[in-house]
Amino acid sequence: MPQKAVVLIVEDEPLIRFSTLDALEEVGHSVMEAGNADEALVLFRNAPDINVVFTDVNMAGSMDGIQLAQRIRAMRPGVGIIITSGVVNLDPMLLPANTVFLPKPYQHDRLLASIHELMP
């Protein structure tokens, strides 16, 4: 039985965010959600049990998903990070350790496999 994660979804498109949240909760993960990186940082600071952050690259607010990932990595190096984008194509070799890039459109089973891969 795969370990259950506490996942923070950071996605500014509500339909994508809700669909992803449903898919993760359906298999037993606990999920928090934020519409931008600023909201996500507030949630992240107040929830020490978050294991994985799943963030889009492009969104409104003071920072993008890559900057958010860097901040999270600096605060808690052990947290798994999944970055997604339909516009930017990131070179996996440039990503920090314990980070997965998942291009959009992604399948929920690929996201679930990535979460499982990042769990300690």
Within a domain: residue 88? yes
User: How far from the centroid of its chain's Cα atoms is residue 99's Cα?
Assistant: 9
Within a domain: residue 94? yes
On whether the pTM is more than 0.85, the answer is yes
Written as tens digits, the pLDDT of the chain (120 aa) is 457 999 999 999 999 999 999 999 999 999 999 999 999 999 999 999 999 999 999 998 999 998 999 999 999 999 999 999 988 777 777 777 789 999 989 999 999 999 999 987
Residue-number span of the structural domain to which 25 is assigned:
6-118
Within a domain: residue 64? yes
How confident is the model over 91-117, as pLDDT tens digits? 777 777 789 999 989 999 999 999 999
Within a domain: residue 108? yes
CA dist 13 and 80 (Å) reads 22
Within a domain: residue 13? yes
Region at 37 (left for phi over 0; alpha for psi -120 to 50; beta for the rest): alpha
We report the CATH number of the domain holding residue 105 as 3.40.50.2300
pLDDT given for residue 1 in this prediction = 46
Within a domain: residue 104? yes
Please give the mean pLDDT across all residues of the chain. 91
Within a domain: residue 20? yes
Within a domain: residue 1? no
Domain count, the chain: 1
Residue pair 5/33 in contact (Cβ under 8 Å)? The answer is no
Task: Write the single-letter amino acid at 81.
Answer: I
Q: What percent of the chain has pLDDT over 70?
A: 98
